[in-house]
Structure 1
Amino acid sequence: MAESGRWTAREAIALLCDDFTEHTRGEEPSGEADGPIGWEGYDAARARAEQATGSTESVLWGEGTLGGDRRCVLLSFEFAFLGGSLSRRAGDRLEAAYTHARERGLPLVSLIATGGSRMQEGMVALGQLQRAARAGVLLREAGVPHIAVVRDPTTGGGWATLGAGADVILALPGAQVAFAGSRVRPQDADPAAYTAESQLAHGHVDAVVRPERLRETVGFWARALAPGVFDPQPVPPPDALPPGGETPLPRTGWDAVLRARDTRRAPAEAYLDRYFARREPLGGDRGGGVDPGLLCGAGVRAADGRAVVYVAQRGTATRPAGYRTAARVIRLADRFGLPVLTLVDTPGAANDAAAERAGAGGSIAEAFSAMAAARTPLTSLLIGEGGSGGALALAAPGNTWATPDSYFSVIAPESAAAILKRSPDRIPRTADQLRLRPQDLVELGVVRGIVPRAAPEQAAAPE
């Protein structure tokens, strides 16, 4: 295979599976000299492309098996065929692949490498983007997942529809991924902005995956998002960490606050690592934003192998991009009937000027709405600070639990004292009045219960 990452369509498929069977459903010869707009020399250019690649179009598709047991529809671009450009016939193949996946309930995996629409077919070629968008909507409505792998390069309408419109977007390292191709972007543009790594940093792809990990990663997503029987039972919350021993509940409200803010307390990553045998990330709000204080993704429970989507706050003030990412991930879980686990730990929503300009209120509303509208079961565990609405937005209504080292409050005690014009020495008393301890939350009906400490022998070894 090519070292540069510019694999042929079949080489890209071979990264994922060994039993690919090509399909030719829905193809018809055009019968037009030099294509639909009569571009002089187009037939000759196509003939040269066919001879060079052994392919009759820029796209091929068929079926294969991922992860040893998951049948999928695979769609792969041949970049050496006129830059992997979209033509009317390529549109026929795209639509056929989407339809086949939808009718059979098979996950669609797209291996994309394209420079955009084929100019030798003019607006006829550009119109294929609408066909692809419509096929994607029908696939989504049918509850069939679309996993995109963006190769080098993925630009133009191919990125703006097939790639960016997928449910899970994976990118290969160093790939050029952008709407603007290298020959049409501004001459003074920063080339680093047009890479897979930049798209990840700005929330437009879920992960950059090395080729040797691609098979197992795509296989994970194909199994995790596979259409199946909806299970109405929520997953149990994780046990409190660290494992072993009984920890007395906080005596006072201020004691609860200090324990929740203690940097030695187990972070969200520790809970996720113990709860899941394996997990993969889902990152970014798809609008240019990433919140490093939020972890999202899907994992396989160590206890029973059940696929679960997670959203975990990491103890920092959650930013608008974080709430938008959480809402996106929760809606994804809802479409595929996957249970959701949220770990709540934030002093509150970010309230600086940048957060206001980024739409703090609207993003929090989006998270509240996603949780309220979810038909899939939700489970939440309060593992640290529960700071006002910024924490409540990601707490499952009626199914939130608490650890002994946590608190939930309508407002931080310091802020409450400031509003009431109380002196700093009265902050602990204010914390007591807020009734924010875990045991208070149980008595008030805010949380269902306080989870016990994990047993040491329950630790799961990652795959």
Structure 2
Amino acid sequence: MTHYLDFERPLAEIEGKAEELRAMARGNDEMDVEEEAAALDAKAATLLAELYGKLTPWRKCQVARHPQRPHCKDYIEALFTEYTPLAGDRGFADDQAVMGGLARLDDRPVMVIGHEKGHDTQSRLSRNFGMARPEGYRKAIRLMEMAGRFGLPVVTLIDTPGAYPGKGAEERGQSEAIARSTEACLRIGVPLVSVVIGEGGSGGAVAFATANRVAMLEHSVYSVISPEGCASILWKDAEKMREAAEALRLTAQDLLKLGVADRIIPEPLGGAHRDPAATMAAVKSMLNTMLSEFDERDAAQLIADRRRKYLNIGSKGLAA
């Protein structure tokens, strides 16, 4: 069953009427509704193109958070073979919000790491809605260092509203863990490529995405804070999230101009959730393209490339 966002309500009505007509005709050979249903389908397709042709930053946030959007676990299952999960930070616990392990992307052995939000109530609670605790970042550090020792490229899949801000996380050194994870990204002498598949929230995303190349899905977002959090701080009113989303310049298109993102991966019309298979095929193609750019580079060149990228962020597109 399709979940419709607030701005998609007119679309829901049209597609619902088409489905009702077809449901009425099932098992009734004398009832021919296909012509009328097809007309509704055409109207829905036109409206869908209009809605997604002019998405505001806030609407892009809504699409990036869509509950049916493919998550990290879906991408790992679809794109990688021989996936062997690795758990725990060898210090405190295994954070279910972060998943990772050894895998193959086609014939290329890689280390894949990502945030997992979960799909239903139970999995979202167990995954903490994709908000990692310190042990999650320390798990990621352990896996990145392992990849560095064995010369494996690292692929990270970003989808988090931000690091978990709870008391226990702060007591266990949340900010230190994020900083060390970011440092590990900069330090490892193997290719590191990232894809923002949904939300890229604050340091929780940067800790995985300080990469040689960062790609973003067309309707994903990446920002220092959520629009609601920004509105609460600047205007003392979380309902001003639309204005905050505009000001944050968090869309893939804005971030490409600023040099934060290096590539934009097109999504199917209506968002990744409408055709997950096509989305995953596009992500796989982009991962192979980005990794192939570093086949002939040694560790020193990879590290220098990564540092240069982050020193140059914001130096272009400021007048846009």
Q: For 2:253, which of 439, 442, 460 is the aligned residue?
A: 439
Distance apart, 1:455 and its partner CA: 4.2
Opposite residue 114 of structure 2, the aligned amino acid is A
Q: Does 1:340 align with 2:154?
A: yes
What is the rounded CA distance, in whole Å, between the counterparts of 2:188 and 2:152 in structure 1?
10
Which structure dedicates a bigger proportion of its chain to helix? 2
Give unmatched runs, 5+ long, in structure 1.
1-245
Q: Report 1:10-409 matches (<5 A).
A: 248=52, 251-301=55-105, 303=106, 305-315=107-117, 316-409=130-223
Structure 1 distance, partners of 2:94, 2:239, is 38
| Equivalent pair of 1:268/1:314 in contact (CA under 8 Å) | yes
Which amino acid letter does the alignment assign opposite residue 93 of structure 2? G
Structure 2 CA distance, aligned partners of 1:382 and 1:266?
12
Contact kept? 1:398, 1:447, Cα under 8 Å: no
Contact conserved, 2:231 with 2:239, CA < 8 A, in 1? no
Whole-Å separation in 2 of the counterparts to 1:409 and 1:294: 19
Distance in 2, matches of 1:455 and 1:384, equals 16
- 8 Å CA contact 2:191–2:212 kept in 1: the answer is no
Relative distance call for 1:364 and 1:457 in structure 2 (3 A) is closer
CA distance in 1, matches of 2:113, 2:53: 26
- One-letter identity of the residue aligned with 1:391: A
Deviation at 1:249, TM superposition (A): 6.6
Over aligned residue pairs, what C-alpha RMSD do you find? 2.4
| Matched-pair contact (CA < 8 Å) for 2:160–2:198 | yes
Cα distance in 1 between the residues matched to 2:158 and 2:281: 22
> In the aligned structure 1, how far is the partner of 2:141 from the partner of 2:54?
33
The structural deviation recorded for 1:344 is 0.6
Aligned partner letter, 1:445: G
Q: CA deviation at 1:394?
A: 0.5
Give the 3-state SS of the residue equivalent to 2:68 in structure 1.
Answer: coil
Count of residue pairs the alignment pairs up: 214
The answer to whether the 8 A contact 2:89-2:135 is kept is: yes
How far is 1:324 from its partner?
0.1
Aligned residues of 1:249 and 1:439 also touching (Cα < 8 A): no
Shift in Å, 1:288: 2.2
Query: Partners in 2 of 1:313 and 1:251 — Cα distance?
Result: 25
Higher relative contact order (CA 8 A, sep 6+): 2
Could you list the per-position Cα deviations for residues 58-80 of structure 1 after superposition, in whole angstroms to 9, with x for gaps in the alignment? xxxxxxxxxxxxxxxxxxxxxxx
1:162-198, Cα deviation, whole Å (9 max, x unpaired): xxxxxxxxxxxxxxxxxxxxxxxxxxxxxxxxxxxxx
Distance in 1 separating the partners of 2:201 and 2:52: 22
Q: Give CA deviations for 1:193-249 in whole Å, capped at 9, x if unaligned.
A: xxxxxxxxxxxxxxxxxxxxxxxxxxxxxxxxxxxxxxxxxxxxxxxxxxxxx9947
Structure 2: distance between partners of 1:449 and 1:419? 31
Cα 1:457/1:279, change in 2 over 3 Å: closer
- Cα deviation code 1:404-440 (max 9, x no counterpart): 2310011111111111134333211111111101111
Closer/same/farther in 2, CA of residues 420 and 344 from structure 1, 3 Å limit? same
- Does residue 413 of structure 1 match 2:227? yes
**Partners in 1 of 2:159 and 2:134 — Cα distance?**
16
Cα deviation code 1:312-335 (max 9, x no counterpart): 111311111100000000000001
Distance across 2 between alignment mates of 1:446 and 1:457: 22
**Contact 1:248 1:404 survives alignment (8 Å):** no
Which protein shows a greater Rg? 1
Measure the CA separation in 1 of the matches of 2:249 and 2:181.
26
Whole-angstrom distance in 1 between the partners of 2:111 and 2:252: 25
- When residues 254 and 457 of structure 1 are mapped into structure 2, their CA distance, relative to the original with a 3 A threshold, is closer
Q: For residue 428 of structure 1, what is the aligned residue in structure 2?
A: 242
Question: What runs of 5+ residues in structure 2 fail to find an aligned partner?
Answer: 1-48, 118-129, 268-276, 285-320
TM-score, normalized by length of structure 1?
Answer: 0.44
**Contact 2:197–2:216 (8 Å) recurs in 1:** yes
Evaluate the alpha carbon distance shift between residue 450 and residue 356 of structure 1 in structure 2; reply closer, same or farther with a 3 A threshold: same
Q: Deviations over 1:354-374 (max 9, x none)?
A: 101111011111201110101
Instruction: Classify 1:398/1:456 alpha carbon distance in 2 versus 1 (closer, same or farther; 3 Å).
Output: closer
> CA separation in 2, counterparts of 1:388 and 1:327?
18
| Same amino acid, percent of matched pairs | 38
2:159–2:198 CA contact under 8 A, matched in 1? yes
Work out whether residues 417 and 430 of structure 1, in 8 Å CA contact, stay in contact via their aligned partners in 2.
Answer: yes
